[in-house]
Structure 1
Amino acid sequence: MNVKKIAFITAMITGALMANANAADQGHGKVTFTGSIIDAPCSINPDSLDQTVDMGQVSNVALKADGNTGTSVPRNFEIKLENCDVTTLKSVQTTFTGAEGVTDGSLGITGTAKGASLILTNGDGAQIKLGEASDAHVLGSGNNTLLFSAYLQGDGASATVTPGDFSAIADFTLAYQ
């Protein structure tokens, strides 16, 4: 073989290797897995751990008190439990905690909106006061869904409802029986 052919073949092989080297990484990243192991008869679905309930754009007129305290439309949310083993513990109570609002047992809001608080309720519409356990939900084997709702309630006849954005954070704790 002559030197020109060897140089040409070497250049072709080098070019092919470089093309493969460049094509081998057409994007990369990292996947991080987190969680915890808990001592409980049920696992909590990851979608239930950190959720956002959109309360929508509520009219300040709906929250004004005309002899009664005004409220918004309730918005549902749920806590999903997975792989429940109800051999010994057959029910669960949920306790919500957070910054207290003006109304007894309510969740306070922060932001530019003022004059209202959030009321948390169980699936039957009964209020669950902050720091107090809900009625017990009976569990079945396998997957279970705990149903809740929240609504805005005006802080009373003497409160001025000020339009603006708000947020509120409630933590929940489960207690099995």
Structure 2
Amino acid sequence: AFAVVDVSPDHTQGLFGSGKVTFTGTITNSPCDIQADDEDMTVKFGQVSYRKLKSEGVADTDNIQPVTIHLLNCSFDPNSPETSGSAGKMSLVSVSFSGGTASGDKAYANPAGPNMASGVGVQLLDSKMAVLKPSVLESSGTTPQQLKNGNNEINLFAQLLNLGGEDSVTPGTINIPLNYTLTYK
């Protein structure tokens, strides 16, 4: 009797590729979770002709973009006398913004630089389409919104605005980073 021994390499074992998985997040003292996609949002205006923003103070009202912050799994501590009638303690939320350069308290200006559009900024609007002034957004934030248990949305809007005079908007890239902070009361 003969025995056959297979000495060929075993191709079912060994390294076939590798990588790294990093898990990130933050444990907070807030009553709601922020949807993961909303931590680093990008609002896309697409390609807009500078001619739509020809005159000072003109906004591109045809291209208003939603800015929605999704609050998930909201759960509130029981009411106390000062919060009676609400969903509970810390069930009011407002949003403040920082990091941008305000222009005449009308909008956040697009930063200067190579290939950047000039004379244009982003103007934020509340859920009723009223203009939100940067000075207010940076100090006290939006009007507090009553939340309910479960999932909620903070709905804001953004539009492009001519910040200079007649024909001051020049073609180029728009990239206006803003940081938002939620304040619960």
Query: Do these two structures clear the TM 0.5 threshold for a shared fold by scoring above it?
Result: yes
Counterpart residue number, 1:120: 124
Counterpart residue number, 1:170: 178
Q: Which structure 1 residue ranges, 5 or more long, are not aligned?
A: none
CA distance in 2: counterparts of 1:50 and 1:125, whole angstroms: 23
Paired residue type of 1:70: V
**For this pair of structures, how many residues does the alignment match?**
165
Structure of larger gyration radius: 1
Deviation at 1:158, TM superposition (A): 5.3
Deviation at 1:141, TM superposition (A): 0.3
Deviation at 1:44, TM superposition (A): 0.9
Deviation at 1:28, TM superposition (A): 3.3
Q: Normalising by structure 2, what TM-score?
A: 0.81
1:51 aligns with 2:41: yes
CA distance in 1: counterparts of 2:120 and 2:31, whole angstroms: 37
Counterpart residue number, 1:79: 69
Deviation at 1:148, TM superposition (A): 1.0
Paired residue type of 1:30: K
Q: Normalising by structure 1, what TM-score?
A: 0.84
> Please, what is the CA RMSD of the aligned residues?
1.9
SS in 2 for 1:61: helix
SS in 2 for 1:140: coil
Paired residue type of 2:65: R
Q: Which structure 2 residue ranges, 5 or more long, are not aligned?
A: 77-87
Counterpart residue number, 2:27: 37
* Comparing 53-62 and 126-135, the one that deviates more: 126-135
Counterpart residue number, 1:18: 10
Q: Deviations over 1:45-99 (max 9, x none)?
A: 111000110011122111121xx62111211121111111133122100001122
Q: Deviations over 1:81-134 (max 9, x none)?
A: 111113312210000112223231421212421011110111111222330410
CA distance in 1: counterparts of 2:13 and 2:184, whole angstroms: 56
* Comparing 158-167 and 32-41, the one that deviates more: 158-167
CA distance in 1: counterparts of 2:39 and 2:167, whole angstroms: 33
1:69 pairs, out of 41, 53, 57, with 57
Query: Which residues of 2 match residues 101-140 of structure 1 at below 5 A?
Result: 101-110=102-111, 111=113, 112-130=116-134, 131-132=138-139, 133-140=141-148
Q: Deviations over 1:8-57 (max 9, x none)?
A: x22x2x33x613225xx544332211011111111111110001100111
Larger % of helix: which? 1
